[in-house]
Amino acid sequence: MSGDRRKDSAAEGSSSRSITMTTAPADLHHHQQQPSAAPLSRYESQKKRDWNTFGQYLKNQTPPVALSQCNCNHVLDFLRYLDQFGKTKVHLHGCVFFGQPDPPAPCTCPLRQAWGSLDALIGRLRAAYEEHGGSPETNPFGNGAIRVYLREVKECQAKARGIPYKKKKKKRNNQLIKPTTTTDQDSKVLKQSS
């Protein structure tokens, strides 16, 4: 009578290691059968999922945006749109915890997509775009405006969260982000750069 244990409530390590969206794709019921589909690597399957998510996003615009018309502004809008699904606390300037990596109490500041997640996402989408026939010259994901945006997000988040992103020019490594909370994204970044 006393034992009210629920083993399954906290499933370890959620399987979604990426940006998740609440909108379920409509084609889930179709139950496509894929004959002899080789299992994709984690990167490849993630890339595929991201690509589908982005395609769905374009379709949901009013009016829908064709991939051929997609430019860097659509990509920037997409990144901002994803923030609502973010899980990274980014303190506002007025917050007493602004610049504190490990705040002692909760606050009402918004959750955002971590810079590292967005950066990795753009890399995957950039590759996917060209795999789907897009030309490298017009690749909206490779546009300079995206780089500028990502740099701004990075700097802003570094300040707000008290995480120094030091630039080391000698070695090319991205391991400067000390994950205060270990997230999948962070550990992935670490792995990729080693």
Write out the residues near Zn ion by the rule CB under 5 A.
91, 95, 97, 107, 109
Smaller CB separation from Zn ion, 107 or 156: 107
> How many Cβ atoms are within 10 Å of 127's Cβ, its own excluded?
17
Which residue(s) pair with 112 in the sheet? Answer: 88
Nearer to Zn ion, 92 or 145 (CB): 92
CB of 120: closest distance to Zn ion in angstroms? 25
Backbone angles phi, psi at 41, to 5 degrees: -65, 165
Residue 177 beta carbon to Zn ion: minimum distance, rounded to whole angstroms = 19
Report H helices in the chain.
Answer: 42-59, 72-82, 115-131, 144-161, 184-193
Q: Cβ 16 to Zn ion, closest distance in Å?
A: 25
Q: Which residues pair with 88 in a beta bridge?
A: 112
For Zn ion, the closer of residues 89 and 126 by Cβ is: 89
